[in-house]
Amino acid sequence: MTISLHELTPSKGREKSRMRVGRGHGSGKGTTAGRGQKGQKARSGVGGLKRLGMRKTLLATPKNRGFQSLNAKPAIINLSDLAEQFKAGNTVNPKTLLEKELIDSKDHGVKILGSGEITFALTVQGCTISKSASEKIVAAGGKVII
């Protein structure tokens, strides 16, 4: 037996008739029409931002303090990290740093900082570099190519 669309009916208790408020005492929603006694919410024309609950919502919402820059920051690498991962004569660039998993992404650039020491020559290419890191690499016999 197949069922057609015109034979489908909602299950018992599924559909509920709309409550007609303000239609006399016999309706069950007469007099105050379910709005309680007095107060702001009992009056007509109150809606939107003027509802009492909206103030509570606004006060409960956490405020975003401070400043968040829209400019992306470069990935940061210290000289000590380079000394651990690279050997003498190697070239350091964003591609090699990504291969060695020292950075997550090269999309926003790479900056090398001078924290730590380096004792062998490296060639740094295609990275932003701090003054102290540049001096330490050149002192160790390496090159910085911007």
User: What CATH code is carried by the domain that includes residue 113?
Assistant: 3.100.10.10
Element (H, E) at 132: helix 131-139
Counted domains in the chain = 1
Are 122 and 140 a contacting pair, CB within 8 Å?
yes
* Cα–Cα distance measured from residue 96 to residue 124, given in angstroms and rounded to the nearest whole number: 11
Chain segment 60-107, per-residue pLDDT in tens: 889 888 988 899 999 999 999 999 999 999 999 999 999 999 999 989
- The reply to whether 105 falls in a domain is yes
- The reply to whether 14 falls in a domain is no
| Residue 88 structural domain | 75-145
Which of the residue ranges 35-44, 48-57, 134-143 has the most confident prediction, judged by mean pLDDT? 134-143
| 121-130 residues labelled b (16+ CB within 10 A) or e (exposed) | ebebebbebb
What is the full DSSP assignment across 38-92?
A: SSGGGSTT--GGGSHHHHHHHHHSPP--S---SSPPPEEEEHHHHHHH--TT-EE
- The reply to whether 17 falls in a domain is no
- The reply to whether 7 falls in a domain is no
The dihedrals phi and psi of 57, each to the nearest 5 degrees, come to -65, -45
